[in-house]
Structure 1
């Protein structure tokens, strides 16, 4: 008699994690929570293709939900292409199409996952803030929800018909008048007619780029710099060239050399509390940059989103190019997503009168208006005088967190560029490829920001941006120590 071996079913994958898949306090249904959590793990390849999922009964028992909940969640994941159902066998992770990165077509499979969109997408995952040292926001419990809530309640008590109509394309006038006062404190003289509100600094930068860039044009950026704009400019057909950033601003000799060679249309610069180094522009560098812009006839977009996290020039040097130029060649960008609420999406552009009107017209073509409800909330917060004290509290928290973080980084042997005295980021030299370090971190539930993403070239880098407000969890320090020791 011949013995026929019966194929063994693979063991179901383990879903054990430090973070539960579901929360009874969430506003989402149990089904939606399960679907989102499992889809994110599959998309990030934390659950490998072909892995068998726990049975419906096992999942229900492990997570304290009904079998009907699990059935519906699994069915949605099948419909969404994340799982496949095998009759009589169970549910399995479906083979996913490989992700292609246009930024690095020759990179290996590991590095091809780590592009600009990867980091942006993962910053919107449902990870707790303390698990995202690579994020660009302050934790929600650092911000003042009551301050924003009071503003929302005040707006809701206003004439309701005002909230049912389009706002002004140029923006809520009282807010623009308040912003005029704010800019005057920075020695930037302007009028409300020179200010255009936007849906965050991201839209502000997009409007400016579309105004000045055509396919084949050159745009200069800091190197390193805020990563999202690289893809945005490339989508317009522009050539993106990085200007090396030093401790007190860009390398002006290199800027002049490249300006003579490429004749750029625009230079986008983080002048104060630069992302990712937290360095600020010196007055000497600001003056030199403006002279080079005049010589080679290009405009400067000055992104000052971190303005209110800086203690002020009376304490630390910080120069805005717009204060030297008074909005002739410089376009000034600002917003409140870092200090009040990212979800309000209120930013603004300050420019010359003619350019401000042109940008307002361009805004009409792209989005008609920005949301006046958010603009009214920001106006309420600014005009009642509470915002200044709120910003002071944030700076104090950052100062204490920075001191702790720098000590810990020194203890584990990591070098920090410039040891910044303000801001929310530190730019760390790990001495190894941070793409691989980031992939390992993601597998263990941590979101890091590798240095490759902050350069237009997106080449492997030993640098890494850390958000000091998200470094309080001892687990991240254990991970870094163990990972660096094994590299």
Structure 2
């Protein structure tokens, strides 16, 4: 006997269109997964068309000898994936699905090379070795087992602690662990002085909202971290660049800008500066703090690359002890960007105010990631992980720089660690980046690292992702013409 399936739009669908359920094979897939995959293939192949009604749960279970619970779960998954729709009292129907992505070659528009372009491009499905402009280490450089072990340890006692919002300032045991970690670099910060955030991006956004008003100037490194330029502009503030030298900011220009603009904030990176890889000297650090005190500016020290530095380094927060310096950090670069765990260290009263800002913006930060990071730090595996990362970067640095310099690029200063090199191509790096983009290579042109966004000949290279033969071949051909940029 043949089972007929009524169809509102296409008459009757006979059982042969469903065919036999392949219960054999795919031993690593559950029965529910096999049923879902089997039905999806029939819908993708248009054997089951939009509007067709599937057998009822009882009919499907009886026909194929599976439990009704299995059929319910399979149908519900297909509803969640957009393949079926459930009509109360009627059954499950094949859903009309429109294409979610444009067909290949449907976007001939050349890219506009701005900050948004670079951020968006870093999320493309390109292999890491084709993304020398990326700001992350390749996934295979990081330790997924470290995260897996942390997640298992956190969930071993049950998920009940994760069902609420968590603490406004963040998971207290992690703040206690951070107190120990910061003490190692001579920054005294009690748990009450720490606010956990969704990475450094949220940390700086919260600080900016606390200090800046429309029309305010905010001083930033030039070159510097491009994402915050747009962040400040969105708040109505004006990012003003302080030229970055190999040993820190240009102090003469810094003082001139402080006099002229009287900014509430100066955001800078002391250790392994992005994009130059240089670090602040002790002499410059003392002068920066002297000027901050003289002109009443609060300094935000972005130390996101701190853990890549395996040698003693000068930090403004260690000299100032969080009096006029707000210190921010993150585990996005060394553990996992997806966990989104960062932190702010500052004076107690300010920490409470920033926690209130965080509540107004996004309530609390997800505690799962904070608990995982706490577990990783508390177990003591993090230190060995950092040693491996530093060693691998050190082994990569000189050979990659030598290759790039042989092609005609000139390094700003020998990086003192970390993942970046700032290099001069001698021609408009926007043009180079656009050409590279056509060949599925992501370069980071220097104009994006300046608040002025003016044309630049500089490029930031991620040393962990800058040795692919296609990249080197592209640079060799692109740089093999006169400095004016004409072939």
From the superposition, tell whether residues 166 and 404 of structure 1 become closer, same or farther in structure 2 (CA, over 3 Å): same
Find the counterpart in structure 1 of residue 143 from structure 2. Answer: 144
* 1:414 match: 409
Deviation at 1:93, TM superposition (A): 3.5
Deviation string 1:443-468 (CA, Å, 9 cap, x unpaired) is 00100000000000111100000000
Q: Residue in 1 aligned with 2:67?
A: none
* Of 406, 423, 429, the match for 1:428: 423
Larger radius of gyration: 2
- Residue 359 of structure 1 corresponds to 354
Partner Cα separation in structure 2 for residue 92 and residue 292 of structure 1: 54
| Mapping for residues 388-403 of structure 1, pairs under 5 Å | 388-403=383-398
Question: TM-score, with normalisation over the residues of structure 1?
Answer: 0.78
**Distance between the aligned counterparts of 1:339 and 1:123, measured in 2?**
17
RMSD: 2.3
Alignment match, 1:210: 209
The one of 468, 477, 481 aligned to 2:472: 477
- Distance change >3 Å, CA 347–CA 129, structure 1 → 2: same
Corresponding residue for 2:114? Answer: 115
Match of 1:378 in 2: 373
Matches of residues 421-460 of structure 1 in structure 2 within 5 Å?
421-460=416-455
Deviations 1:257-291 (A, max 9, x none): 11001101100001100000000011111111111
Match of residue 290 from structure 2: 291
Quick one: distance in 2 between partners of 1:138 and 1:160?
31
Distance 1:485 1:291 in 2: 47
SS of 1:219's partner is strand
The alpha carbon displacement at 1:128 in A equals 0.5
| Length-normalised TM-score, structure 2 | 0.78
Q: Secondary structure at the match of 1:196?
A: strand
Deviations 1:242-266 (A, max 9, x none): 0000001100111001100110110
1:186 aligns with 2:185: yes
Unaligned runs of 5+ in 2: 1-32, 45-96
Quote how far apart the aligned CAs of 1:160 are: 1.7
Partner of 1:70: none
Q: Which residue of structure 2 lines up, in the alignment, with residue 320 of structure 1?
A: 315
Q: Equivalent residue for 2:234?
A: 235
Task: State which drifts further: 244-253 or 410-419.
Answer: 410-419
Q: 1:167 Cα shift?
A: 0.9
